[in-house]
Chain A
């Protein structure tokens, strides 16, 4: 592109692409600035698998119905009411028309993945996962004449009163700038900047793993907040889950999850248990364990199971550590052997009647007389070989973001910024004050990406 585009979209994930496609269809000349190189384009969106969608009657891969009120109630439950209800309802209501829109723009769906039947009614799964969605959108965008620059990192937006006057970025080692008519920010949260995480959360955050892209470092977010653009969401909080401790620092994605906690005991590096492993079925507890592990010394936990539980959960990406005796397992995992022996012996002694054991239901098979108790699936760890996994805290996203209105527009003081819109993770704090509802991230990105694209194009035309 030789001349200045009408619209610059910052970021190259789901929200950015939905905005770019919508704006291009309205006739605007759009440039996407994506900081990642092409093989890593698509941010966290490339790790996703579904989006949550309201519907009246069967829709695409979705069965039965999922009403606005039920959807909102589900959201209120996880956020504890920390939700802008008006924006939430907008996202929910619009999600229904998103599904056919996505199909028209190349996304393909499939029945819910095996092992996720509970989501068949509420969440539409992308065939091939989020990267295939991202690929399809890039194809569509390119057909619409959208230009894409990879390895183009936006460093600063120059504000002039209530408008963005200039976008500064680096590309191929050179500093560049553009002055488009409209700007859409869709560059995600700041979780990949572990220094920032450590400032917000405390030094323990240095030991966290980042489940998604290393490129969401919050550069644009910080730049805008520093200049007084309205913010939303708790700056100290992030969404985190417990994942395989051997996962890579970044981009481990979905495969690093571990589903074995309910059938295990979990100890810290001193071989002490610290929480009820059987509190609830795993998907519901998944997020809690991220925090629990973060609170342990060195931010690490160790899951111990025995042979009878090995096949009760989804296979893990790395094979478990295996040993014929607990002492050997302790050695292999770097745990104090005597302490582990004692913890396991106490736990085993506290196990009672197990005939009602049922791996997929709250079975009430509980311990008695130990703290913390294990309130379901409590079976003694006795049958060799023994298996172990280490657990670490894996950050999914951060809550701090740009505050937007129902047009996805940003504001400064009490005024709107006349040519700045935000979509996706970077404004999700407007709706998700805390907690997380599976599939809602992509809903927010799609709904507000399309709104931002439309508004930005209207402003530019």
Chain B
């Protein structure tokens, strides 16, 4: 990993450890204060515990122009961003996409192109609805690897993470502890329940937490929709299309709506926030990825709306192309943070148990 990022984070962590004023904001500080010296692994763990709420920046009496020049949110964001690139498998893909909005757009366009091509080349004569455009088998042939590969990649990434931070064997209690704090984004409340500092300097608001929750639950609902549909297809022999009040549609519609609203709000917030309190060089990549995720939701909703029109084949190719790009990019974009953050939370539960 980049030693200058680590060195800068270490310098700042040592100052915080002598100060400790921010220990009520988030779980970074109790973890930080448990150490006297910070190994690269310690810093990587702290960086992935931080969710960039910026409370500790606006509260800090040592920010520039003070000579200590504290900017812990940025120092940790740089280490975090760098760690995702470093742990990515293959590493080159992490380097190509994490910070690069253009590469993400390019990959998405390639996704569209592939699906348009597939629709043409593998056109079916049989199927109904979407399967008239692309046979179910063709979809599976494209999406099964596109789904399994990221899983494998992330598993490798997490293994690398676990080795770096010196994690212990994981027990069920570690997982449940981590999941409960992720589920309501406890840390995003800023410790006092007023939220975080983001779009309006030192004002505490819940905007970012709500936007993030909309994205997370929106994504999970969409994912559930696809999963349910897959089960219905294979187990119950009930292939698509499904009616408006069927489980896949209800889940998909609500999830897609949440995803679009959440991503839209998140982009709006990011554009207002001070970029110098994050990993500045990753800003473009983050915004673009959020855009892609929102677009997955939006194109899905459009497909619902235009499913019976002549636009359907084009809408289907666009939606599936975006989904394809999204899946394949997951280990190499901001999306990876969800997995590393969970790992960091699990590790933190372990630390608290041990201490």
Contacts and interface: CB of A to CB of B under 8 A. Distances in A.
A39 B67 contact: no
A128 B18 contact: no
B63 A311 contact: no
A47 interface: yes
Given A40-B65, A114-B33, A128-B24, 8 more contacts: A39-B65, A115-B20, A128-B22, A128-B58, A131-B61, A135-B58, A251-B61, A314-B18
A236 interface: no
B24 A127 contact: yes
Given A135-B202, A255-B15, A317-B18, A129 B194 contact: no
Interface in A108-135: 108, 110-111, 113-115, 125, 127-132, 135
A49 interface: yes
Interface of B: 14-15, 17-25, 30, 33, 36, 55-56, 58-68, 191-192, 194, 202-203
B24 A46 contact: no
* Highest count of chain A CB atoms <10 Å: which of B33, B62, B68, B191: B62
Contacts of A40: 65
Contact of B203 (A47, A108, A115, A139): A139
A110 B192 contact: yes
A113 B21 contact: yes
* Highest count of chain B CB atoms <10 Å: which of A40, A113, A130: A113
Contacts of B58: 128, 131-132, 135
- The secondary structure that dominates the B interface is loop
A412 B24 CA distance: 46
A110 B192 CA distance: 8
Contacts of B14: 315, 317, 319
A113 B33 CA distance: 11
A135 B200 CA distance: 12
Given A255-B18, A314-B18, A315-B36, A113 B62 contact: no
* Highest count of chain A CB atoms <10 Å: which of B15, B18, B66: B18
A316 B18 contact: yes
A350 B348 CA distance: 46
Nearest to B22: A128
B61 A47 contact: yes
Contacts of A114: 20, 23, 30, 33
A315 B17 contact: yes
B191 to A, nearest CB: 6
Contact of B59 (A132, A251, A316): A132
A449 interface: no
* Highest count of chain B CB atoms <10 Å: which of A110, A115, A129: A129
Contact of A129 (B61, B191, B202): B61
B194 to A, nearest CB: 7
A108 B195 CA distance: 12
A253 B24 contact: no
Nearest to B21: A129
Interface in A16-53: 39-40, 46-47, 49
A321 interface: no
Given A46-B61, A139-B202, A139-B203, A254 B21 contact: yes
A228 interface: no
A111 B20 CA distance: 12
Given A139-B202, A251-B66, A317-B14, A128 B59 contact: yes
A317 B19 CA distance: 8
* Highest count of chain A CB atoms <10 Å: which of B30, B64, B68: B68
A235 interface: no
Contacts of A135: 58-59, 202
A135 B202 CA distance: 7
A211 B339 CA distance: 43
A314 B15 CA distance: 12
B202 A255 contact: no
A57 interface: no
A111 B191 CA distance: 11
25 contacts: A39-B65, A49-B21, A114-B33, A127-B191, A128-B21, A128-B58, A129-B59, A131-B59, A132-B59, A132-B202, A135-B59, A135-B202, A139-B202, A248-B67, A251-B66, A253-B62, A255-B15, A255-B18, A257-B18, A311-B36, A314-B18, A316-B18, A317-B14, A317-B15, A317-B19
